[in-house]
Structure 1
């Protein structure tokens, strides 16, 4: 692979870096002030809509979508350094560019598996940034690291499906603009193939029987900008049979197709989070004195910063290689690398952020710096889209199989 960014990537990087410096970073404090003054914690700060309008004006919109029909037509390799930049301000930048999870994965799912009517009704307003969405798979009563465990029932009744179940940590469901839930459940719970028991259906959030029960916290944070993480109860919810995504029994395969690109997008943004942590560490080390000399001259601090730089450069190369493989041999051909970055990146970035918190002392765990919230996000990604251990198990079995 060529390690240099191509001309289009460089041009977009320049535009995006300028947008970040001129609009996103200055908006971080304003967004917090507006959110604190809002009537509801889930109200969107007005500055977020201003950022979205400015991003569209600058042509920085839907960059994640590989096809030109719906997005910018970038390859994964071209998008990777752009996603990294947005990771430096993960609460605002991805949303401003309409590149925030879970909407990105849901848009890709609808584009690949949705009917024309489903795309018209839900994909088009998502692409326009007019609505938000949620993906409802995880459940509290089963080990959701094994997606075949889902217990939510989706039963056919004439021209309708009836959905009954309980989900939690459903990202985006509390956002005031969330209009649609993509729900995974079992249509054939006794089927002989455990990977053909599941299906997915589209459930408008205002459908009778849908109850957003509570907001789930992540290390005390409610993740307001992304619409929170909700516990959702589905009590005899009825939707038309035309709301089925793909075919009955195709839910597990669709979920795997959806999660692959999402995993690499998270890893791209995590590198940006690590870069911001290194920048904050260097500034803090240069500005503070302890025991008669600047922190920047303390040996342990120098080791933290040096190790962080080495780790980020290693991770970036692995993520770029993975993106290149996805472009050249497809997601299946890049399976080992996708799992490798999903294991390595959150773990390493969380450690870098931990050192940055340590260097900032009490400030590191408070709200005056973004480090504590960034650490919570990085640590959570060791669980989201499959916990470390699931990816380690799968990767190890593949590696062992090569030598059997």
Structure 2
């Protein structure tokens, strides 16, 4: 089956509109340092423009207000809107809300959809997803300590969650908790919808990090420490079936990684443009930097890496569209660890060519660089994905006879002499 990443003319017009819209309307907002309340007001008219273009929450089915686009189209969109950290927010596809929408749509009850999904889709609500814990490896979502114990007609949740994106600006959190510690490891957990104002749920702090060294209160994009102490939720807070926590989590991760990588391509392209622009006018030792061999190597390497990542990511998206997420696991793991490296390396070169200016906060490169480091951690560290890729490839191989390499020339020569004995006798 041939690969096909082409787009029809009408969709290409949408992509062209997006490119101009992101550059002219969204990039300028990055410089204003707005808090969450100010930002929500500022982006409201932009979100309406996106809705008018029928591009709002395009990953969702039409009955939910989206376009039902496949992963290839969504990938091309995310490449454009991902050049700004505010892009996904304006287009209604920001993490973790996009993934939460998908699982609410997939396994939520009619009541849950009415109460939580509809306002999430409209942009009235925002949400968080609480899986990671400080004392348990984030790379192993089956190894959790947060518990949910049945109590009458509800559940009691206790636990300590860590690095929960947007918890401090969310209206509710989907919490993954252990409901049966004795079950098979992939059936131990379940998911629960917990309102942000539930008694016993505390957003302890916005965690200072490389990405945000001094987080301000009420700021979008922060990562939070969250505790749950005897938090009671009703029975209808359970998402899906008991024991489905891991399976539901996997529904949101595969396509989400496609979108991550395409957004990283958008960020990489933005840094690449800055790199090339600098090469055209900055003089050193008698010529512009673009005439130096080292700089040309940086440009060529960056262009090749971005193009390779884009093709790899679109191929993974195409596999999902044609054969489903399960068939794309190896491809998704490949782009996840390779994409983080490309993002880091291209931004690093762009900083280097700008010297101290690139290191300063007068350009967006330094903040892009700090955020890029997290790409090697989000949705599983590089090491987990590399291991997954290697294991997938090794399944196709087995030890050769007698443990002699299959390409061993003396062995092959002996076999060739036997195979062509008559011919060799004839031509001797």
After TM superposition, is the score higher than 0.5?
A: yes
Shift of 1:48: 2.4
Where does residue 78 of structure 1 map in the other structure?
73
Once residues 300 and 232 of structure 1 are traced to their aligned partners in structure 2, the CA distance between those partners, rounded to angstroms, is: 47
Shift of 1:225: 5.8
Q: Identify which of 190, 197, 209 aligns with 2:200.
A: 209
The answer to whether the aligner puts 1:353 opposite 2:353 as a matched pair is no
User: Which shifted more, 258-267 or 291-300?
Assistant: 291-300
CA contact (8 A) 2:36 2:220 kept: no
Q: Deviations over 1:123-162 (max 9, x none)?
A: 1111101110000000001112111111001100011110
Once residues 399 and 158 of structure 1 are traced to their aligned partners in structure 2, the CA distance between those partners, rounded to angstroms, is: 49
Once residues 168 and 300 of structure 1 are traced to their aligned partners in structure 2, the CA distance between those partners, rounded to angstroms, is: 42
Aligned residues: 391
Q: Identify which of 159, 165, 182 aligns with 1:190.
A: 182
Q: 1:226 to 1:325 in 2, by over 3 A?
A: farther
SS at match of 1:148: coil
Say which one has the larger Rg.
2
The answer to whether the aligner puts 1:327 opposite 2:318 as a matched pair is no
SS at match of 1:106: helix
The answer to whether the aligner puts 1:52 opposite 2:47 as a matched pair is yes
User: Which shifted more, 212-221 or 159-168?
Assistant: 212-221
CA contact (8 A) 2:210 2:371 kept: no
Shift of 1:252: 0.8
Once residues 11 and 57 of structure 2 are traced to their aligned partners in structure 1, the CA distance between those partners, rounded to angstroms, is: 15
TM-score, scaled relative to structure 1: 0.93
Where does residue 310 of structure 1 map in the other structure?
304
Shift of 1:42: 4.2
Once residues 336 and 163 of structure 2 are traced to their aligned partners in structure 1, the CA distance between those partners, rounded to angstroms, is: 19
Shift of 1:296: 1.7
CA contact (8 A) 2:319 2:328 kept: yes
Q: 1:320 to 1:225 in 2, by over 3 A?
A: farther
Q: Deviations over 1:291-340 (max 9, x none)?
A: 22212222211111111001111111111111111000000011111111
Once residues 218 and 87 of structure 1 are traced to their aligned partners in structure 2, the CA distance between those partners, rounded to angstroms, is: 21
Map of 1:171-186 to 2, 5 A cutoff?
171-175=165-169, 178-186=170-178
Where does residue 27 of structure 1 map in the other structure?
29
Q: RMSD across aligned C-alpha pairs, in angstroms?
A: 1.6
Structure 2: tracts of 5 or more residues without a match: 399-428
Shift of 1:238: 0.4
Once residues 276 and 329 of structure 1 are traced to their aligned partners in structure 2, the CA distance between those partners, rounded to angstroms, is: 32
CA contact (8 A) 1:16 1:60 kept: no
User: Which shifted more, 216-225 or 247-256?
Assistant: 216-225
Once residues 14 and 36 of structure 2 are traced to their aligned partners in structure 1, the CA distance between those partners, rounded to angstroms, is: 32
Structure 1: tracts of 5 or more residues without a match: 36-40
Q: Identify which of 149, 157, 160 aligns with 2:154.
A: 160
Map of 1:3-402 to 2, 5 A cutoff?
3-29=5-31, 31-32=32-33, 35=34, 41-45=35-39, 46-65=41-60, 67-70=61-64, 71-89=66-84, 91-175=85-169, 178-191=170-183, 193-221=184-212, 222=215, 226-402=220-396
SS at match of 1:270: helix
- Runs of at least 4 residues off by over 3 Å: 41-44, 222-227
